[in-house]
Amino acid sequence: MDNLWFAFGLTMAAGLSTGIGGLISVRRRNPGPRFMAGALGFSAGVMLYVSMMEILPKGVDQLTEAWGKVNGNWAAVGAFFAGIALIAIIDRLVPEPINPHEPGTIDDPEVSAQRRRMMKMGTMTALAIGIHNFPEGFATFISAMEDPQLAIPVAVAIAIHNIPEGIAVAVPIHQATGSRRKALSWTFLSGLAEPAGALVGFLVLMPFLGPVTMGVAFGMVAGVMVFISLDELLPAAEATGRHHTSVYGLIAGMATMAVSLLLFL
């Protein structure tokens, strides 16, 4: 029982580190185009790198364990593009959020459309990261239950790379709403997926989870995050007119995520 509470607390701390990223991103009350270009590019870099270098390879590993090298790789690639197809369909079907209470946007269609787009981008990013964090939380919880000493560096590594994920969520929502509170709320909400994954996994899913289920889930999440990066984050960064800043932000996001994954190999 002592290990149970330790494991859950460790998972909670790792998950809520997304809030640190949120705090970093909302320090500027009125971010200019240079900051927005860099921040959105950074967010895209984080999501692209973690999708292609961590999440999709995990899916491949799980599926090849279950179905062998050839079939497992085909299944992982299929899951990846299925995730892209799923989020593309959602992108077409879900109406853009409208907030008539934002002052100064109703009489300016261009500003209003930009804010709706940013809000949509932020909520989709939060959803994708939350889905990604769910199995991550379950994995942290299980490792802490089995070996608390091993789980600590795992949790620290997850916490470090959750910080830029929090930035990816908070930047567009802060820009859309002008509210630091809403931006922070969404970052913490996406981070809560990790303790939720631990709790649900412990109570319900543990007997049913296997390599196939986890492999397909990882592949689809990677596809979702790549689509959001290419369809939402990067175009929004470019729309600021700061092309080079967007690219520098993209590279910085990739580098930050790469270092966060290498620290605890």
List the binding residues for Fe(2+). Answer: 133, 136, 162, 165, 194
Question: C-alpha distances in angstroms, 16 versus 36, 134, 137, 196, 243?
Answer: 24, 12, 11, 11, 32
Question: Alpha-carbon distance 126 to 191, whole Å?
Answer: 9
Known binding-site positions for Zn(2+): 136, 161, 165
- Beta-carbon contacts of 82 under 8 Å, excluding residues fewer than 6 positions away, are 219, 220, 223
Known binding-site positions: 133, 136, 161-162, 165, 194
Question: C-alpha distances in angstroms, 154 versus 13, 185, 260?
Answer: 12, 25, 11
113 C-beta neighbours (distance < 10 Å), count:
12
Closest CA to 235 of 91, 105, 73, 95: 91
